[in-house]
Amino acid sequence: MNLPSGHQTIMPYLILKGASDFIDFTKTVFGAKDVIKPVLHDDGTIRHAEIILNDSTIMITNASKDWSSQTANLFVYVPNADETYAKALENGATSLMELSDKEYGRTCGVTDAFGNVWWITSIVP
């Protein structure tokens, strides 16, 4: 199967109020990068954008009268869960599950200002 460069077999497609602010949040907290220049509607809101976190792509569009906002639960591995948790809270997320050590790593949960839940985990050697 031939996939477009930077795409995976399955990728989340988030429909959000404030898609541009969400992209800024992911860049600040997770170090996300733009895959493409966002395609905009006439009113300046995002019609289609793609960001990449490490090697995983997330597609995003702004909610509209035709496409209502929908939240997601996202599990993400990061180099340092403690630092990422702190950045998330500093940038408008609320704590859902405080940092703790589990058999699968150092982990926590936050809800971002857009209603998405992020399960943040670092592998502990």
Task: Find, among 97, 84, 70, the residue nearest to 26 by Cα.
Answer: 84
CATH number of 13-122: 3.10.180.10
Lowest pLDDT segment from 1-10, 40-49, 56-65, 84-93: 1-10
Average pLDDT, the chain: 96
Q: What pTM was computed for the model?
A: 0.93
Average pLDDT over residues 20-32: 98
Taking the domains of the chain in order of start, what are their residue ranges?
Answer: 13-122
Q: How far is CA 95 from CA 6, 98, 99, 121, in A?
A: 31, 6, 9, 14
Residue 1: per-residue pLDDT: 82
Kindly state the tokens that stand for 108: 């926590």
Q: What type of residue is 30?
A: F
Conformation bin of residue 21: beta by default, left when phi > 0, alpha when psi is -120 to 50: alpha
